[in-house]
C-alpha cells in the first residue's frame, strides 16, 4: 500500500512580523473620485497625472472582472485602503529611515544584500519608497535609479516619464490595470544609457505592512541601445485575516541590442491577492529574460508579457510556482512575435501540495510579419498529493507559415523509481524527495544569483520537511 | 434558427485570444434518427447529407461504424454508449459546407473507443468531441486529420474526461492549412480526482503552407489526481524549404508538391481508417481538395 505524503506548511516566521500603523495615516478605504483626488494632492501630481488617474478610475468602474482565472470573491474593493501616508520621506542613508522600518528591512536582509552584492537598492514600505540608493560608480556611469515620483518631478526626466508611463500597459488593458492607473504610488525608475553594462544587479524590495491595504507600485525601466541590466524584485507581507491587494505594474523598454534580466522572488503572505501586470517591449536584437519564483499569495494572476518588436529580438521566461494550502496561483507568460526572426522560450515548473491549486497559463502569438520566428514552450507540473490541483492552459495563435513553434507539457508525481534509486544509495526517503523537488526547480535556481538561489532552495527544503508520513 | 454557444473551452483563458468558444445559428428542423444497435456487427456505413442523430450502442462484437457526413448545412449528433468490455471503432469523414458535428461517448469498464476523424475543406466546420471515461481501464485512442484551404474554417473542441482508474487516452492530430484557412484546435485531457493510474497523451502536428493561414492551438491538461501521467505537445510550422527545393529539382510541379505534402501529412491518419474502400475514397478526396487549392 502506498504511504501518503504529509507536507508541512512553509515556515513564514521570517516574513510574518509586523508593526501597527497609525490610523491617521490611512486614507479612507474604497475607490472614489474624492480619494483619487486626495492621493493626487498628497503626491503633488502634475495636472496630466491627476487627469490620468481620474480617467483610469472611469475605466476601472466600467470594466468587468475577467471571465477566466481564479475567483477573487474574497476581495472587496470597498474595504481596501489604497494609500497610506508615509512616516518618512525617502532617504539615501539607512540611518535616516525610521527605526521600525529599518528593522523590517534588516530582518529581510536588504541592507546586508546591498553591501555585499547589489549596485543599488530601493525599498518601499506600504505606499511609498523609504530608501533609495545607488553606488557612486554606477551613478557616475549615467545610470539613473530613483523613485518614480521624484523622476516625474525632475525636469530632466519628466518628459520621459510622461512619454512611457502606462503606454505598454494602458489602463484599458484590464480592470486591475485601470485600478493601478488610478491609485498607483511608489515604485522605481531606472534609466541605463547606451552602451552601459551593469556587472551587478539593482534591487527593489516591496513590503506591505498595513492591514487591509493595497500596494500599487509602478516600475519603469528604460534600457538604451546595447546596454545591459539585471534587476531583482522581491516582495513580502505579514499575514492578516483581512484580504490585501497587490496590483503593481512593471513596464520595461529594452532598446536595440540591449539585454535586461528581470528576476522576481514573490513571497506575499497567504491573505494577498497578487494581481500584477508586467510587460516588456523589446527592440531589434534586444533580449528580455524573466526569472520568476512565485511562492506566496492567496490568489495570483501573473503573466509577464514580452512584445518582440524588432528584428532578431528574443525573450526567455523561466519560472517556478509552488502552491500550498489555501493558495490558487495562476501564473505563466505571454509572448508576442511582432517582427521577423524573433525567438522565444518559456520553461516553467509548478508544484502543488496540501490542496494548493497551480495553473500554468500562456499565450504565444506570431503575427504575419514575424517570418522566420521560433518559439518553444515547456511546462512541467508535479503533484505532491491527492487533494491538490494542477492545470495547464497554453494557447498558440500563429499567423504566418514561415515559423517554427513547439510546445510540450507534462504532469505527474514524484517517480517511485527515482525515490527507490536514491534510497538504495543511502538516502532516507524524505531527503530523497526533497532532492528530487529541488532538482525539479533547478531551471529557476540556476538562473538566480547565488544568494537568491540559496534562499529559494531553503524555501523548498522547508516545504518538504516532514514530507514522508 | 437559434444562436447557440458551442465548443466552450472547459477552462477559459485570455479573452483576447478568441479561443474560449464560438457561436453558430442552429436550425430547429427535426433530425433523422439513426440507431446502430449492439447486435449490428461487422461494418456499418452511413451516408449523412442532412441533420441526424446517430446512436451507436456497443455490444459483445466489436462495432465498426463509418460515417460520411457531406452536407451543405447540417448538424449531426453522434452518441456512443460503450458498455463494459465492448469495443467501438468510429470513422468520420466530414466534408461539405456549414457542418456542426457533435460526438459524445461514454465508456464503461474496460470499454474501448477508437476514433478516426478526417475533415476535408468544409466551408465552416464546428466539431465537439466529448469522451467520458467513467469505466475502469477504459481506453480511448483517436487519430484526427484535417486539410483546409481557401477561406474555410475548422473549429474543434476535444474534451477527454478521465474519471475511471487506469484509463488510457492517446490522441494524435495532424493537419494542413493553406490559403486563408482558419483553424482552432482545443484539446483537453481532464484527469478527475480518483482516476489513479490514468494516463493521457495528446500531440498535434500542423503544417502551414501559406503565410495567410491562421492557426490556433490550445492543448489543455486539467489535473485533480496525483497518480497520473499526462503529456501534450504541439509542433506548428513550415515545410523545410530544402524539401521543396529537392522535389522541384526532380521536376515535380509546385501544385503537385503541395498535394504530396498534404497526403504525407495525413497519411498516418488515413491508414487508421481500416477499410480499404473508405481509405481510398478519403485519399482521393484529399488529392482533389489539394489540386483545387
Q: Is residue B152 part of a domain?
A: yes
Of A393, A394, A409, nearest to B231 by CB-CB distance is A409
Is A388's Cβ below 8 Å from some Cβ in B?
yes
Q: Is residue B269 part of a domain?
A: no
Mean pLDDT throughout B56-75?
A: 85
A 309-338 → B contacts, CB under 8 A: 334
Tell me the pLDDT band of A26, cut-offs 50, 70 and 90: low
Q: Where are the alpha helices (DSSP H) in chain B?
A: 241-249, 254-270, 276-292
What are the tens digits of pLDDT across the range B258-277? Answer: 778 888 899 999 999 999 99
Tell me the pLDDT band of A29, cut-offs 50, 70 and 90: confident
Is B292's Cβ below 8 Å from some Cβ in A?
no
Is B181's Cβ below 8 Å from some Cβ in A?
no
What are the tens digits of pLDDT across the range A201-238? Answer: 898 877 777 777 788 999 999 999 999 999 998 776 66
What are the tens digits of pLDDT across the range A232-271? Answer: 987 766 666 667 899 999 999 999 999 999 998 888 888 8
Task: Tell me which residue range forms the domain holding B213.
Answer: 2-237
Q: Is residue B124 part of a domain?
A: yes
- B208 contacts in A (CB within 8 Å)? 398, 400-401, 403
Tell me the pLDDT band of A10, cut-offs 50, 70 and 90: very low
3-state secondary structure of A326: coil
Note the pLDDT of residue A107: 72
Mean pLDDT throughout B29-47?
A: 76
Considering Cα of B101, then A362, then A315, then A167, what sign does the dihedral take?
positive
**pTM for the predicted model, two decimal places:** 0.91
* Number of domains observed in the structure of chain B: 1
Of B12, B222, B229, nearest to A68 by CB-CB distance is B12
- A412 contacts in B (CB within 8 Å)? 228-230
CA distance B49 to B62: 26
Q: Which residues of A206-239 are buried (b: 16+ CB within 10 A; e: fewer)?
A: bbbbbbbbbbbbbbbbbbbebbbbbbbbbbbbbb
Q: Is residue B262 part of a domain?
A: no
Instruction: Count the Cβ atoms, other than its own, within 10 Å of residue B21.
Output: 15
Q: Is residue B259 part of a domain?
A: no
Compute the nearest-CA separation of B292 from chain A (Å): 20
Pick from B243, B163, B254, B170: nearest CA to B204: B170
Q: Is residue B253 part of a domain?
A: no
Bridge partners of A390? A358, B223
CA distance B272 to B251: 31
CB of B45 closer than 8 Å to CB of B58: no
Please tell me the number of Cα atoms within 13 Å of A320 on its side-chain side: 24
- Looking at every residue in chain B, the average pLDDT score rounds to 91
Contact assignment for B13 to A393 by CB distance below 8 Å: yes
Contact assignment for B226 to A361 by CB distance below 8 Å: no
Is A68's Cβ below 8 Å from some Cβ in B?
yes
Please, is A154 exposed, middle or buried when counting C-beta atoms within 10 Å of its C-beta (0-12, 13-18, 19+)? Answer: middle
Amino acid at each position: 500500500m502506498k504511504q501518503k505524503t504529509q507536507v508541512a506548511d512553509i515556515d513564514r516566521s521570517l516574513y510574518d512580523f509586523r508593526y501597527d500603523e497609525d490610523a491617521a495615516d490611512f486614507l479612507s478605504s474604497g475607490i472614489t473620485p474624492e480619494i483619487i483626488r486626495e492621493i493626487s494632492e498628497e503626491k503633488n501630481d502634475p495636472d496630466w497625472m491627476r487627469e490620468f488617474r481620474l480617467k483610469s478610475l472611469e475605466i476601472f468602474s466600467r470594466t468587468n472582472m475577467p471571465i477566466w482565472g481564479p475567483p477573487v470573491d474574497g476581495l472587496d474593493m470597498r474595504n481596501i485602503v489604497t494609500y497610506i501616508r508615509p512616516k518618512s520621506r525617502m532617504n539615501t542613508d539607512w540611518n535616516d529611515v525610521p527605526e521600525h522600518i529599518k528593522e523590517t528591512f534588516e530582518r529581510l536582509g536588504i541592507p546586508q544584500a546591498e553591501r555585499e552584492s547589489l549596485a543599488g537598492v530601493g525599498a518601499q514600505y506600504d505606499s511609498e519608497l523609504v530608501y533609495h540608493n545607488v553606488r557612486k560608480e554606477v551613478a557616475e556611469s549615467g545610470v539613473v535609479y530613483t523613485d518614480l515620483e521624484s523622476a516625474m518631478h525632475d525636469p530632466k526626466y519628466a518628459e520621459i516619464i510622461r512619454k512611457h508611463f502606462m503606454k505598454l500597459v494602458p489602463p484599458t488593458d484590464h480592470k486591475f490595470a485601470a485600478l493601478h492607473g488610478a491609485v498607483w504610488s511608489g515604485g522605481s525608475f531606472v534609466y541605463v544609457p547606451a552602451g552601459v553594462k551593469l556587472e551587478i544587479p539593482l534591487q527593489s524590495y516591496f513590503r506591505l505592512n498595513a492591514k487591509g491595504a493595497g500596494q500599487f507600485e509602478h516600475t519603469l525601466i528604460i534600457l538604451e541601445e546595447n546596454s545591459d541590466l539585471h534587476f531583482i524584485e522581491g516582495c513580502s507581507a505579514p499575514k492578516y485575516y483581512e484580504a490585501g491587494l497587490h496590483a503593481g505594474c512593471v513596464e520595461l523598454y529594452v532598446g536595440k541590442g540591449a539585454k535586461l534580466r528581470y528576476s522576481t522572488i514573490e513571497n506575499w503572505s497567504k491573505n494577498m491577492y497578487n494581481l500584477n501586470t508586467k510587460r516588456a517591449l523589446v527592440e531589434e536584437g534586444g533580449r528580455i529574460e524573466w526569472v520568476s519564483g512565485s511562492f506566496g499569495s492567496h490568489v495570483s494572476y501573473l503573466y509577464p508579457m514580452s512584445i518582440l518588436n524588432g528584428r532578431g529580438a528574443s525573450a526567455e521566461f523561466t519560472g517556478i510556482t509552488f502552491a500550498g494550502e489555501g493558495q490558487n496561483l495562476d501564473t505563466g507568460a505571454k509572448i508576442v512575435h511582432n517582427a521577423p526572426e524573433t525567438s522565444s522560450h518559456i520553461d516553467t515548473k509548478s508544484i502543488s501540495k496540501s490542496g494548493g491549486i497551480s495553473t500554468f497559463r500562456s499565450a504565444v502569438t506570431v503575427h504575419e510579419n514575424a517570418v522566420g520566428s521560433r518559439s518553444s514552450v515547456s511546462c512541467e507540473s508535479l503533484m505532491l498529493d491527492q487533494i491538490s490541483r494542477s492545470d495547464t492552459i497554453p494557447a498558440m495563435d500563429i499567423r504566418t507559415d514561415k515559423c517554427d513553434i513547439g510546445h510540450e507539457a507534462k504532469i505527474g508525481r514524484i517517480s517511485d523509481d527515482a525515490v527507490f534509486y536514491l534510497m538504495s544509495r543511502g538516502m532516507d526517503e524524505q531527503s530523497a524527495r526533497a532532492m528530487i523537488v529541488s532538482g525539479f526547480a533547478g531551471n529557476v535556481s540556476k538562473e538566480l544569483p547565488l544568494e537568491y538561489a540559496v534562499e529559494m532552495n531553503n524555501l523548498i527544503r522547508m516545504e518538504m520537511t516532514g514530507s514522508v508520513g | 434558427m437559434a444562436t447557440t454557444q458551442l465548443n466552450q473551452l472547459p477552462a477559459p483563458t485570455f479573452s483576447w485570444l478568441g479561443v474560449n468558444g464560438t457561436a453558430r445559428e442552429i436550425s430547429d428542423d427535426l433530425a433523422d434518427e439513426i440507431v446502430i444497435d449492439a447486435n449490428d456487427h461487422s461494418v456499418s456505413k452511413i451516408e449523412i447529407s442532412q441533420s441526424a442523430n446517430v446512436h451507436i450502442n456497443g455490444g459483445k462484437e466489436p462495432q465498426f461504424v463509418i460515417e460520411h457526413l457531406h452536407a451543405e448545412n447540417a448538424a449531426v449528433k453522434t452518441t456512443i454508449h460503450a458498455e463494459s468490455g465492448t469495443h467501438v471503432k468510429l470513422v468520420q469523414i466530414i466534408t461539405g459546407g456549414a457542418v456542426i458535428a457533435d460526438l459524445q461517448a461514454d465508456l464503461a469498464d474496460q470499454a474501448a473507443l477508437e476514433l478516426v476523424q478526417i475533415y476535408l475543406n468544409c466551408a465552416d466546420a464546428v466539431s465537439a468531441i466529448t469522451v467520458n471515461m467513467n469505466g475502469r481501464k477504459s481506453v480511448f485512442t483517436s487519430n484526427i486529420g484535417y486539410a483546409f484551404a481557401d477561406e474555410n474554417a475548422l473549429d474543434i473542441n476535444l474534451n477527454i474526461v478521465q474519471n475511471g482508474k487506469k484509463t488510457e487516452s492517446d490522441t494524435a492530430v495532424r493537419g494542413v492549412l493553406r490559403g486563408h484557412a482558419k483553424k482552432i484546435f482545443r484539446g483537453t485531457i481532464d484527469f478527475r480526482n480518483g482516476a489513479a493510474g490514468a494516463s493521457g497523451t495528446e500531440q498535434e502536428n500542423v503544417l502551414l503552407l501559406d503565410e495567410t493561414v491562421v492557426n490556433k492551438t490550445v492543448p489543455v491538461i486539467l489535473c485533480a489526481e496525483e497518480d497520473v501521467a499526462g503529456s501534450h505537445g504541439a509542433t506548428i510550422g513550415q515545410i523545410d524549404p530544402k524539401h521543396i527545393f529537392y522535389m522541384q529539382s526532380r521536376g515535380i510541379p509546385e501544385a503537385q508538391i503541395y498535394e504530396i505534402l498534404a497526403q504525407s501529412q495525413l497519411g498516418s491518419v488515413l491508414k487508421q481508417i481500416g477499410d480499404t474502400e473508405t481509405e481510398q475514397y478519403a485519399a482521393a478526396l484529399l488529392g482533389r481538395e489539394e489540386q483545387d487549392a
